[in-house]
Every structure is written in structure tokens, then in C-alpha cells.
A = this chain, B = another copy of it.
Amino acid sequence: MKKLINSPDTVIADALRGIEAAHPEVRVDHSNRVIFRRQPKADGKVALISGGGSGHEPLHGGFVGEGMLDAACVGEIFTSPTPDQMLAATVEANVGGGVLHIVKNYTGDVMNFEMGAELAAAEGIDVRTVVIEDDVAVQDSLYTAGRRGVAGTALLEKIVGAAAEEGRSLDEVAQLAQAVADNVRSMGMALTSCATPAAGKPTFDLPEDEMEIGIGIHGEPGRHREKFTDAKDIARQLVEPILADLDYADSDVVLLVNGMGGTPLIELYVMFAEVKALLDAAGVRVARSLVGNYVTSLEMAGCSVTLLRADAEMLRLYDAPVATPGLTWGA
């Protein structure tokens, strides 16, 4: 499979050069593979750090900046960064307010962030961790014990980032992060596989007339495969399990229709229309909407739906200014 790369071995290093060249607001530590904000933060601000395997861009590096993350640890494609990276990010980003690690629930990420946090604690840094596990599709899977962490991560990083920016304490920030994690659910599907540069061929085979419902963001198996139907039916298959998992009645909701990377935006809008119609019919109040490619799986075609049950405070923080390479809106 053709890719716009020089070599599978240099994809991450090359992309990091590109990110640094394109975005003066971030700084890249190339030896540790950590993306930092360029501007130092105020003393005492809680530092937010996330990270994970590459191939999900703009997550996480694209969310480093004013109003979101302070640093992102960059792993190889679909491979967790190492504890040393987490340690380097934590030590550098800490400005005395303590550090929150935002971790998607994959075994490698959880283990390596945990070890990184222990190493940082040994250096006297106060580290908390929130693990996000928003995917309702499956319990346990290829790389995960429990539910996987998927596109809800982007909403969590936005809202918690705004709170940290306001100067809240580590306790408060960690508590808010857990509240967001507790109230967000996602479900995804794929029309095609993706191919890692190293493998050079699709991760799995999906026949031309089939789709996979409940796919993971590395192409891990979902709930089932079936014949391709249409946007309306797919929307139903993504929304129903989410609504069955959490009670969204009588609360405001942030709705994210997220592209997996290879689906044109026009199709995401078709999906958004169907998802919104279902939520309207179910009496779910969509207070904020986001449509686009935020948590991707290389060039996989497909989408996911994320619903966050948001209180007024979360909505206010969601609306706060943000300026990062991958998510930006004004004051």
C-alpha cells in the first residue's frame, strides 16, 4: 500500500519534523519524542500529559497547546510510548502544580504510563492518572482488558485542558477528568481496514460488501461483521448501544461524529444528520456538536459516534478558547 512517507522506519521522526516546522506553537523533543507547548506555562499550573501510539492524528500531539495538553508522548504507529518518554514529559512539563496523565485504556499505554508515573513520583512530582474507556463496543479485546479508550479522549482533553488553564488544583482537575471519563461513551465502525507503514498491507480483510460494527481504533475486532447497509442503519447501530449503556435523558450532550481518517467529510455530515435525527427522536438534547477527523486510525474508512453527558460546567469549559494544531477555536 502506497503511503506518503520516505520509509516505514522514519515515519515518526519525519512527521515530528513536519509538526515542528508547521506549528511554531509547539516544540518537539526529538530524542524523547515528546511534543511540548513552546510557551512555558505559569508556575503552579497543573500540567496535562497524554500520549499513545501514532496513527491517530491529530490525537494527541495535535492537541498540545493553549487550553488543552501540555505535552504528548509519541509512540511508534499503534504502539505505546515507553515509560522513559512519560517520565521526560512529566519532568519537563511540571511547573509545580502537579501532573495529570490522560491514558487511553490499552494494556501497553496503561502499563507504561503507570511506570512513568512511578518514576516521576520518585522524583517528587505529584502525578494523577485518568484512564479513559469510552468504547461500549466490546469488553476486553486484542490490546485491552476492559473497554477501549477511543474518541471520547478528544472531548476529555478539551474540557480538562480548559480547567487546568484556569488554574485549578490537581485534585480538581483529576476529579473533573474522572467525571468526564465516567460520562462519555463511544462506538465506531469501519468500511475498510487501515495499513501500518511497517506491514504495508491491510491489517485485516473486509470484503467489498461488508462492514465491521464496533471496530477498535487499531483495527481490533469489533462486535460483528455484516453486509453493508446505509448511513441510517449504521447510525442506529452506533447510537443504540451508547444509549443503552448510559442514561442521557434530561441532560445536555456533546455529540462528536468522528472520522476514522479515510472517510470524506461529506459522508461524516450524512452520518451526523442520521445520528442527530435518532437523538432527537430519543429526546436526547444535543448542546454542542463536533464533526471531523479527531481520533483516527490511519486511512481507515469509517466513523465513530461519541456522546458526552455534560453538566453546565463541562459545557462552559468545552466552549473555552483553544489553540492547538488540531483543534482551535476563538475566545
Query: Which residues A80-94 have CB closer than 8 A to chain B?
Result: none
In the complex, residue of chain B having the shortest beta-carbon distance to the beta carbon of A20:
B273
A79 to chain B, nearest CB (A): 13
Query: Which residues A205-248 have CB closer than 8 A to chain B?
Result: 208-209, 211, 228, 230-232, 234
Q: A268 in the interface, Cβ–Cβ < 8 Å? A: yes
Cα–Cα, bound, A296→B211 (Å): 24
Interface centre among A266, A293, A298 (most CB of B within 10 A): A266
Q: A11-B266, A21-B273, A299-B262 are in contact. Are A5 and B230 (CB under 8 A)?
A: yes
Cα–Cα, bound, A2→B303 (Å): 13
Verify B4–A191 contact, CB threshold 8 A. Answer: yes
Interfacial chain B residues near A4, Cβ < 8 Å: 191, 231, 234, 263, 267-268, 270-271, 301-303
Interfacial chain B residues near A274, Cβ < 8 Å: 6, 14, 18
Q: A54 in the interface, Cβ–Cβ < 8 Å? A: yes
Verify B6–A57 contact, CB threshold 8 A. Answer: no
Interfacial chain B residues near A301, Cβ < 8 Å: 2, 4, 262, 299
Q: A141 in the interface, Cβ–Cβ < 8 Å? A: no
Which one, B15, B58, B191, B228, contacts A273 given CB within 8 A?
B15
Interfacial chain B residues near A230, Cβ < 8 Å: 5-7
Interfacial chain B residues near A95, Cβ < 8 Å: none
Interfacial chain B residues near A293, Cβ < 8 Å: 265, 293
Verify B11–A270 contact, CB threshold 8 A. Answer: yes
Interface residues of A (CB under 8 A from B): 1-7, 11, 14-19, 21-23, 54-55, 57-58, 62, 77, 191-192, 208-209, 211, 228, 230-232, 234, 257, 261-274, 276, 289-291, 293, 296, 298-299, 301-303, 321, 323, 325-326, 328-331
